[in-house]
Chain A
């Protein structure tokens, strides 16, 4: 049945139509825009590769923000995915009241980019905020988190990490698909809980780990809320991520053409990384439901 090509295509048809109807035009338009100068008022003016040329050669802000974005992704993605996996693992224990904990851990993600998050995060990382109080308790020097270009990145990285709820929920769901009997077999084989986690759980949920890595990478490269709300890209552009720059260019400076060019560079970057990940997944992702291929 599964090699009925027509049926398979019928099932993806909604997606094909969706792409044609709602995605194709915007994509093509934005790609076309990236070769123009467009300020919303006057019709776009074709400028060829000028936008790309400019960002490659004459835009230190782009270079800076590209670096910031990559650094952010490098820090934030493993932290969020790792944390989510760890907590999901812990929350998968049978324990009284575990439901409440699950909800508690998800709350930050429900709050999303709300005012409360912004206000709170600024409170936490303010000079006299909770974080510094804790540091002081540990006998450490207080840190001007929001005002120090070397530390400001951490505030948004931690915010990103803190909102690990969705990844956690996905992991929780994935953990259910690991057959109990395998844990039993591993237990008999003498595996400790930790070993079971690393050698049974992790390999068997690699499809979902892979999913979370890819998605969080995509999200991290497009992260906007944190830097926008908490640090406003500063200080000294130390948290001026690409998404912020694209936003500024497109919707504050009205350089829609340039913004589109920036976006497509980001697209190429993320796409390249994703391609790399997909290629690597052959070697570490295990699909129980996949027929082997020739």
Chain B
């Protein structure tokens, strides 16, 4: 742990933190409140407190207007998210390791390409990418959502890990080389533990972003039984029909739970860096 000890006036800190936290949490609180409200109530008041407490919206929202319940959609989401996280972490760590530590031909060019791929708006790539996957024959399946990640195409994460790694001294790696590590062992036994906070944030981001991703599944998935939560959430919002907002909101709240849980589970690792250590003196 490398947290700074807070010395004085903790209550002042709490006060400021609390105030800011309220601003941050406002939408969540509002969402929860709104899940108990009628449409009219939702649109007329920005307050939190509903006039009645009725969990019906949750039950109805969960059942959905489709052939499937949200259990299916959650499962689908996890079927996309979990493999994707795994392949992302593996490929991105490998590639980042190469960029941060190795010398090889074309490194600069490849690095530039990596940064470059993030700079074209995704919208214009949507159609060409769709055509690519159509050619491969992967439409209406999860592969287009997962497989590219296995090839470190989520360059945001690669770049993130590269920057972290470049800031970590090489001493331990040298020691491990002497201890007989080959490159992969070095990566696994030394670099990964040192990079843990960064890797954990990659996992959290990938989880939350994939859970929230709307466009990807929208384009590539046509079958309702394959929809993830993000698509299913908007299933019953037509343009011209009455929407029972409470149901939609209730299920939005539920949809947040996995992400929040993941964040909670992960967060102690953001602040448990291993590399800040060494001998005291």
Residue ID in chain B nearest A18 by CB atoms: B151
**B49 in the interface (beta carbon within 8 A):** no
- B75-113 at interface with A (beta carbon < 8 Å): 91, 94-95, 97-107, 110, 113
**B204 in the interface (beta carbon within 8 A):** yes
Among B3, B27, B101, which residue has the most Cβ atoms of chain A within 10 A? B27
**B168 in the interface (beta carbon within 8 A):** yes
Q: What does DSSP make chain A's interface, helix, strand, loop or mixed?
A: helix
User: CB < 8 Å: which of A27, A172, A222 contacts B121?
Assistant: A222
Please tell me the number of chain A residues within 8 Å of chain B, measured between CB atoms: 107
Total A-B Cβ pairs within 8 A: 316
**CB of A168 to closest CB in B, whole Å:** 10
The stretch of B58-66, B220-228, B273-281 that contacts the partner chain: B273-281
Contact A120 B26 (CB under 8 A): yes
If A18-B148, A106-B263 touch, does A30 touch B159 (CB 8 Å cutoff)?
no
Contact B159 A215 (CB under 8 A): yes
Contact B27 A101 (CB under 8 A): no
If A14-B152, A29-B131 touch, does A101 touch B17 (CB 8 Å cutoff)?
yes
**CB of A131 to closest CB in B, whole Å:** 11
- Give Cα A221 to B256, complex, Å: 27
- B28-73 at interface with A (beta carbon < 8 Å): 28, 30-31, 46
- Give Cα A88 to B220, complex, Å: 37
Among B6, B117, B119, B198, which residue has the most Cβ atoms of chain A within 10 A? B119
**CB of A262 to closest CB in B, whole Å:** 8
**B132 in the interface (beta carbon within 8 A):** yes
- Give Cα A259 to B123, complex, Å: 9
**CB of B230 to closest CB in A, whole Å:** 9
CB-CB < 8 A to A271: which residues of B? Answer: 116, 119
Contact B248 A115 (CB under 8 A): yes
- Give Cα A94 to B3, complex, Å: 6
Contact B151 A176 (CB under 8 A): no
**A198 in the interface (beta carbon within 8 A):** no
- Give Cα A193 to B7, complex, Å: 11
Residue ID in chain B nearest A21 by CB atoms: B151
**CB of B248 to closest CB in A, whole Å:** 7
**CB of A230 to closest CB in B, whole Å:** 13
Contact with A along B233-255 (1 / 0, CB 8 A): 01000000000000011001000
A8-B98, A11-B95 known; 14 other A-B pairs, CB under 8 Å? A2-B101, A7-B183, A8-B107, A22-B129, A99-B264, A110-B260, A114-B252, A116-B30, A170-B201, A176-B272, A208-B167, A218-B118, A250-B124, A259-B123
Q: Which chain B residues have a beta carbon within 8 Å of chain A's beta carbons?
A: 1-6, 10, 13-14, 16-17, 20-21, 23-28, 30-31, 46, 91, 94-95, 97-107, 110, 113-125, 127-129, 131-132, 147-148, 150-153, 155-156, 158-160, 163-170, 177, 182-183, 186, 197-198, 200-201, 204-205, 208-209, 212, 214, 234, 248-249, 252, 256, 259-260, 263-264, 267-268, 270-273, 275-278, 280-281
> Mind listing 11 A-B residue pairs with CB under 8 Å?
A2-B101, A2-B102, A12-B110, A18-B91, A19-B151, A23-B153, A30-B120, A169-B201, A181-B280, A207-B164, A289-B100
8 pairs of A and B residues whose beta carbons are closest in the complex: A176-B273, A18-B151, A8-B102, A8-B104, A11-B98, A173-B197, A26-B128, A29-B128
Q: Which chain A residues have a beta carbon within 8 Å of chain B's beta carbons?
A: 1-12, 14-19, 21-23, 25-27, 29-30, 33, 87, 90, 92-95, 99, 101-117, 120, 123-124, 129-130, 162, 166, 169-170, 172-181, 183, 193, 204-205, 207-208, 210-211, 214-215, 218, 221-222, 224, 242-243, 246-247, 250-251, 256, 259-260, 263-264, 266-267, 270-271, 274, 278, 286-291
